[in-house]
Amino acid sequence: MYRRNITASVIEALADTPVILVNGARQTGKSTLCKKIVDEGAFQGNFVTMDDPATLLAAQKDPLGFLEDLGKHVIIDEVQRTPKLFLSIKKLVDSDRKGRRIILTGSADVMMLPRVGDSLAGRIEIHNL
Provide CB contacts within 8 A for 12, sequence distance 6+: none
Q: For the full predicted model, state whether its pTM sits above 0.75.
A: yes
Per-residue model confidence (pLDDT) at position 26: 86
Tens digits of per-residue pLDDT, 7-50? 899 999 999 999 999 998 888 889 999 999 999 999 999 999 99
Q: How far is CA 118 from the centre of its chain?
A: 16
Domains along the chain? 7-128 (3.40.50.300)
Handedness of CA 128, 48, 20, 7 (dihedral sign): negative
Compute the half-sphere exposure of residue 113: CA atoms within 13 Å on the CB side of its CA: 17
Give 126's strand partners.
21
**How far is the C-alpha of 13 from the C-alpha of 5, rounded, in Å?**
14
Pairing of strands 73-77, 101-106: parallel
